[in-house]
Protein backbone atom coordinates (compact mmCIF):
# COMPACT_ATOMS: atom_id res chain seq x y z
CA UNK A 1 0.00 0.00 0.00
CA UNK A 2 1.21 3.46 -0.87
CA UNK A 3 0.13 6.32 1.40
CA UNK A 4 0.48 9.99 0.56
CA UNK A 5 -0.61 12.99 2.58
CA UNK A 6 -0.60 16.75 2.78
CA UNK A 7 -1.62 19.25 5.46
CA UNK A 8 -4.12 22.02 4.67
CA UNK A 9 -3.81 25.59 5.92
CA UNK A 10 -6.43 24.64 8.55
CA UNK A 11 -4.10 21.93 9.96
CA UNK A 12 -6.18 19.08 8.54
CA UNK A 13 -4.09 16.21 7.22
CA UNK A 14 -5.50 14.71 4.02
CA UNK A 15 -4.37 11.09 3.76
CA UNK A 16 -4.65 9.11 0.52
CA UNK A 17 -4.00 5.37 0.74
CA UNK A 18 -3.63 3.56 -2.60
CA UNK A 19 -4.18 -0.18 -2.86
CA UNK A 20 -5.53 -2.73 -0.40
CA UNK A 21 -6.40 -1.90 3.19
CA UNK A 22 -6.29 -5.38 4.65
CA UNK A 23 -4.34 -7.67 6.94
CA UNK A 24 -1.21 -7.46 4.78
CA UNK A 25 -1.05 -3.65 4.82
CA UNK A 26 -2.63 -3.03 8.23
CA UNK A 27 0.63 -2.61 10.16
CA UNK A 28 2.09 -0.11 7.71
CA UNK A 29 -1.20 1.80 7.51
CA UNK A 30 -1.60 1.89 11.30
CA UNK A 31 1.97 3.10 11.87
CA UNK A 32 1.69 5.81 9.22
CA UNK A 33 -1.76 7.07 10.16
CA UNK A 34 -1.03 6.94 13.90
CA UNK A 35 2.09 9.05 13.43
CA UNK A 36 0.19 11.58 11.32
CA UNK A 37 -2.66 11.77 13.86
CA UNK A 38 -0.19 12.45 16.68
CA UNK A 39 0.88 15.60 14.79
CA UNK A 40 -2.45 16.51 13.16
CA UNK A 41 -5.48 14.87 14.83
CA UNK A 42 -7.93 16.21 12.24
CA UNK A 43 -7.83 13.73 9.36
CA UNK A 44 -9.63 13.64 6.03
CA UNK A 45 -9.16 10.15 4.62
CA UNK A 46 -9.38 10.08 0.81
CA UNK A 47 -10.66 6.57 0.09
CA UNK A 48 -10.83 6.93 -3.69
CA UNK A 49 -7.71 4.79 -4.18
CA UNK A 50 -8.65 1.83 -1.99
CA UNK A 51 -9.26 -1.25 -4.14
CA UNK A 52 -9.91 -3.76 -1.34
CA UNK A 53 -10.76 -3.47 2.35
CA UNK A 54 -11.36 -6.20 4.90
CA UNK A 55 -12.27 -6.32 8.59
CA UNK A 56 -8.63 -5.77 9.60
CA UNK A 57 -8.61 -2.52 7.63
CA UNK A 58 -11.86 -1.49 9.30
CA UNK A 59 -10.41 -2.31 12.70
CA UNK A 60 -7.39 -0.13 12.00
CA UNK A 61 -9.67 2.78 11.08
CA UNK A 62 -11.48 2.38 14.40
CA UNK A 63 -8.21 2.31 16.37
CA UNK A 64 -7.07 5.46 14.59
CA UNK A 65 -10.43 7.14 15.14
CA UNK A 66 -10.14 6.52 18.87
CA UNK A 67 -6.67 8.06 18.81
CA UNK A 68 -7.86 11.11 16.87
CA UNK A 69 -10.85 11.63 19.18
CA UNK A 70 -8.61 11.36 22.25
CA UNK A 71 -6.58 14.26 20.82
CA UNK A 72 -9.73 16.30 20.14
CA UNK A 73 -9.62 15.50 16.44
CA UNK A 74 -11.61 13.25 14.14
CA UNK A 75 -11.32 11.15 11.00
CA UNK A 76 -13.70 12.00 8.19
CA UNK A 77 -14.06 9.80 5.13
CA UNK A 78 -13.98 11.30 1.65
CA UNK A 79 -14.70 9.72 -1.73
CA UNK A 80 -15.46 6.22 -0.46
CA UNK A 81 -15.39 3.64 -3.25
CA UNK A 82 -18.08 0.92 -3.12
CA UNK A 83 -15.93 -1.57 -1.18
CA UNK A 84 -15.27 1.04 1.53
CA UNK A 85 -18.91 2.14 1.66
CA UNK A 86 -20.00 -1.47 2.01
CA UNK A 87 -17.55 -2.17 4.84
CA UNK A 88 -18.62 1.02 6.66
CA UNK A 89 -22.27 0.05 6.24
CA UNK A 90 -21.87 -3.60 7.27
CA UNK A 91 -20.02 -2.67 10.45
CA UNK A 92 -22.29 0.32 11.10
CA UNK A 93 -19.22 2.53 11.19
CA UNK A 94 -21.08 4.79 8.77
CA UNK A 95 -22.90 5.96 11.90
CA UNK A 96 -19.62 7.01 13.53
CA UNK A 97 -17.52 8.47 10.71
CA UNK A 98 -18.47 11.62 8.84
CA UNK A 99 -18.70 10.54 5.19
CA UNK A 100 -18.34 12.98 2.29
CA UNK A 101 -18.41 12.80 -1.52
CA UNK A 102 -14.87 14.12 -1.88
CA UNK A 103 -11.72 14.36 0.20
CA UNK A 104 -11.87 18.14 -0.21
CA UNK A 105 -15.35 18.29 1.30
CA UNK A 106 -14.24 16.00 4.14
CA UNK A 107 -11.32 18.34 4.88
CA UNK A 108 -13.50 21.44 4.61
CA UNK A 109 -16.03 19.94 7.04
CA UNK A 110 -13.63 20.65 9.90
CA UNK A 111 -14.62 24.31 9.50
CA UNK A 112 -18.02 23.36 10.94
CA UNK A 113 -18.90 21.27 13.95
CA UNK A 114 -20.50 17.95 13.07
CA UNK A 115 -22.54 16.17 15.69
CA UNK A 116 -20.49 13.00 15.99
CA UNK A 117 -21.00 10.10 18.30
CA UNK A 118 -17.90 9.25 20.26
CA UNK A 119 -16.42 5.85 19.57
CA UNK A 120 -16.30 5.34 23.32
CA UNK A 121 -20.12 5.35 23.19
CA UNK A 122 -20.04 2.34 20.86
CA UNK A 123 -19.08 -1.29 21.07
CA UNK A 124 -18.78 -4.25 18.71
CA UNK A 125 -21.09 -7.21 18.68
CA UNK A 126 -19.79 -10.70 17.85
CA UNK A 127 -20.18 -10.03 14.13
CA UNK A 128 -17.90 -6.95 14.23
CA UNK A 129 -20.86 -4.66 13.83
CA UNK A 130 -20.64 -1.38 15.60
CA UNK A 131 -23.46 -0.81 18.06
CA UNK A 132 -24.26 2.28 20.02
CA UNK A 133 -24.32 1.77 23.77
CA UNK A 134 -27.34 4.08 23.64
CA UNK A 135 -29.20 1.37 21.74
CA UNK A 136 -30.03 3.19 18.51
CA UNK A 137 -27.31 1.80 16.25
CA UNK A 138 -25.28 4.99 16.57
CA UNK A 139 -27.04 7.42 14.20
CA UNK A 140 -26.04 11.04 13.72
CATH of the domain at 25: 3.30.750.24
| 137 occurs within a structural domain | no
| 20 occurs within a structural domain | yes
Q: What is the pLDDT of residues 79-110, one digit of tens each?
A: 999 999 999 999 999 999 999 999 999 999 99
Give alpha helix (H) positions in 71-138: 82-90, 103-108
| 51 occurs within a structural domain | yes
Q: What is the pLDDT of residues 47-68, one digit of tens each?
A: 999 999 999 999 999 999 999 9
| 119 occurs within a structural domain | yes
Which distant-in-sequence residues (6+ apart) come within 8 Å of 80 by Cβ?
A: 47, 48, 88, 99
| 138 occurs within a structural domain | no
| 139 occurs within a structural domain | no
Give 114's pLDDT tier (boundaries 50, 70, 90).
Answer: low
Q: How far apart are CA 22 and CA 26, in angstroms?
A: 6
3-state class (DSSP) for residue 98: strand
> Which residue would you say has higher pLDDT here, 140 or 22?
22
pLDDT of residue 113: 58
Domain boundaries, position 111? 2-132
| 8 occurs within a structural domain | yes
> Which residue would you say has higher pLDDT here, 13 or 123?
13
How many domains does the chain divide into? 1
Amino acid sequence: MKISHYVTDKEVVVVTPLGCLDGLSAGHFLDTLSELISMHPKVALDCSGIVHMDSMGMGILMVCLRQALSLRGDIRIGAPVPVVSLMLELTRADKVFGIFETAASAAASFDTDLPAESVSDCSYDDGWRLRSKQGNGGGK
